[in-house]
Amino acid sequence: PASGGGGSRKSASIEGIKDIIAVASGKGGVGKSTTAVNLAVALAKTCKLKVGLLDADVYGPSIPTLMKLEGKPEVNEDMKMIPMKNHDVWCMSIGFLIGKDAPVVWRGPMGVAWGELDILVIDMPPGTGDTQLTISQRLRLSGALIVSTPQDIALIDARRGANMFRKVQIPYFCALADSGLIENMSCFKCPHCREKTYIFGHGGARKTAEEMGMEFLGEIPLEVEIRSSSDEGSPIVVSAPSSEAAEAYNEIAQRV
Ligand code: ADP
C-alpha cells in the first residue's frame, strides 16, 4: 500500500491526498468499474487505508449502484461536494449529479471535499480518448491499472504500432511511476463443479504486460457471484471475503 512506507511516490496534486491511481481500460464492458470498486474496498478494509473512489466514467457512471449509494451529495461552506461513504470508502460520482433537479456544475475531483486520503482510486471512462488523456495529464497520478480481458489484450497487442495507442502510451505507460495490468474474466469458473476453463487461452496478458514493461498484477476469474454481488451493491470482497476472487482483489490491493 502507498502509505505503508517505502517506495518513492509522486505527491498528488489534490491537497490532502497522498496517492491517486487511475483504473483504466481499452474499451467498455471489461470489468473496469467492478475492479475499481473491489480494489477500493480491499484497500480500505484489508490494507486499512483511508480511501476515496471517484467515478469519472461520464458515459455510464456505475459507482452509485455498485456501492449502493444514492441521493445528491451535500455541499460544504467552501462550495465543495461532500463524498458519500459505504463499505469504508468515500465516493463521488458524476452519477450523483445527473438527476431531474437543477444541474450541479461538475468541477472535477478538485470540487470534492475529500479530506485526508491515503489513496484516491479513479474509475476512468472506458477507452483512450481526450477525456482520459486530460485526466491523466492534469492529475499527478501515482499509477495506472489497466483492466483487460484476454481478448482485449489481443486487441491492444495488435494495435501496438497504431498512432492512437502511441498517444495513449504517454500518460498510461510512460509518464507514470507505476502501472500494472489486471486480467479480468481470465477463465470461466463453473458455479457447479468450480472447474476453471480458460476459454480464451492462458498466459497472454502476463506476456503482453511483460512486453510493455508493465507489472502483471493478477487474474480475476469470470464468476457469477462477482456479477450478482455487484448488482446488489455489495462488492465480492464484502459479500464473499474468502472467495478466490476476493482473495485475488486483496492480493492486488496489497501490491498497489
Ligand atoms: P466496465 O466498467 O469495464 O464497463 P463493468 O465493471 O461495469 O465493466 O462490468 C461489466 C459487467 O460485467 C457487469 O455486469 C459486471 O458485473 C460484470 N463483470 C465484471 N467482471 C466480472 C467477473 N470477473 N465475473 C463476472 N462478471 C463480471
Query: Which residues line ligand 1 at a C-beta cut-off of 6 Å?
Result: 25, 28-34, 62, 126, 184-185, 220, 222-223, 226-227, 230
pTM of structure:
0.87
Q: Which atom of ligand 1 is nearest to the CA of 185?
A: 23
How many A from CA of 154 to the centre of ligand 1? Answer: 19
How many A from CA of 96 to the centre of ligand 1? Answer: 21
Q: Residue whose CA is closest, atom 12 of ligand 1?
A: 31
Q: Residue whose CA is closest, atom 17 of ligand 1?
A: 227
For a pocket test of ligand 1, which of 34, 93, 184 has the largest count of ligand atoms closer than 8 A to its C-beta? 34
How many A from CA of 157 to the centre of ligand 1? Answer: 22
Residue ranges and CATH numbers for the domains of the chain are 17-255 (3.40.50.300)
Percent of the chain past pLDDT 70, that is, above it, reads 78
- Supply the pLDDT for residue 102: 45
How many A from CA of 215 to the centre of ligand 1? Answer: 22
pLDDT tens digits, one per residue of 173-195: 433 446 778 899 999 988 889 89
pLDDT tens digits, one per residue of 102-156: 445 566 677 899 999 999 999 988 876 677 767 776 777 777 888 888 887 666 6
For a pocket test of ligand 1, which of 227, 236, 247, 249 has the largest count of ligand atoms closer than 8 A to its C-beta? 227
User: Across the chain, what does the average pLDDT equal?
Assistant: 80
- Supply the pLDDT for residue 246: 96
Task: Among 24-38, 51-65, 93-107, 124-138, name the one with the lowest average pLDDT.
Answer: 93-107
2 confidence band (pLDDT: 50, 70, 90)? very low
- Report the distance separating Cα 252 and Cα 27, nearest Å: 21
Highest mean pLDDT among 8-12, 97-101, 143-147, 171-175: 143-147
101 confidence band (pLDDT: 50, 70, 90)? low
How many A from CA of 93 to the centre of ligand 1? Answer: 18
79 confidence band (pLDDT: 50, 70, 90)? confident
How many A from CA of 34 to the centre of ligand 1? Answer: 6
- pLDDT of residue 4 exceeding 50: no
